[in-house]
Amino acid sequence: MGQSKPIGSNTILIVEDEALVRFDLVDFFADAGWRVFDAGDADEAIAILDRHKEIRVVLTDVQMPGSMDGVKLAHYVRGRFPPTILFVVSGNVPIRDDELPERTTFLPKPFDPHRLLRQIESA
């Protein structure tokens, strides 16, 4: 992605219903100097995104309670906030590329957050 990255826009939203996993990711990205938002389901995530347009990266689990799963949320985000960098995570079988919105990376669970961080920073 060739768009410019304004200083201070290292902002990530983590959407994950499993609290233990979520808190760890929050801490990890916070330690790495990121501004981190977190949500337990898609509705919560959309509310946060509406309020914080500066969010550059969204990382979402697929299986979540509520009206929208991670894949739907990803499509919503891509439509509403096109430049967002998207990661979709699942412990289930890999989701095919044609089911995901453009420029979205699928990560099988468990994934290595250090590798993810390197991937985001090189994007």
Partner 1 sequence: MTASVALLNRLRDLTVARPRPKSIRYGIAVLTVVAVALAQSAMFGSSAPWFLYTPTVVLLTLFLGRGPGIMATILSAIGAGLVVVEADEPLLLTPVHWGASVIFTLTTLGLVVLVEALRTALLDADRLREEREQALVVTAEREAFLSGVLGSSTDCIKVLDLDGKLTFMSEGGQRVMEISDFNAVAGCPWPDFWQDAGNTEAKEAMEAARHGQARSFIGKADTFMGTPKWWHVAVSPIPGQDGRPDRVLSVSRDITELRATEEQRERFVRLAENSADFVGMARTDGGVFYMNEAARRLVGLEDADITRLTIADFFPPEQVETVACEVLPAVDRDGHWVGELTFRHFRTGELIPVLYSVFPITDTTGALVGYGTVTRDFRERRRAEDDMRLMNGELAHRLKNVLAVVQSVASQTLRGVPGAEAASQNLSARLVALGAATDVLTGSSWRSADLRELATRALSPHGRIGERILLSGPAVTLKPELTVAFALALHELATNAAKYGALSNDTGTVTLAWSITGDGDDAVLAVSWREEGGPPVTPPERKGFGSALIERSLRSYFSGKAATDYRPEGLVFELEARLKDAAITTGK
- Residues of the shown chain interacting with partner 1 in the complex, contacts defined by CB under 8 A: 18, 20-21, 23-25, 27-28, 31, 63, 91-94, 108-115
Q: How far is the CB of 88 from partner 1 (least distance, A)?
A: 14
| Separation between Cα atoms, residue 101 and residue 103, nearest integer Å | 7
Helix (H) or strand (E) holding 9: none
Query: For partner 1, which is the closer residue by CB, 49 or 88?
Result: 88
For residues 12 and 84, give the distance between their C-alpha atoms in angstroms, rounded to a whole number: 10
Cβ distance to partner 1 smaller for residue 50 or 97: 97
Give SS3 for 123: coil
Kindly state the smallest distance separating residue 110's Cβ from partner 1, in Å.
Answer: 4
Using the minimum distance from each CB to partner 1, give the nearer residue, 25 or 36.
25
Q: Which of 10, 13, 25, 37 is nearest to 121 (CA)?
A: 10
The label of the residue with tokens 């985001």 reads 120
Q: How far is the CB of 71 from partner 1 (least distance, A)?
A: 15
In terms of CB distance, is 18 or 43 closer to partner 1? 18
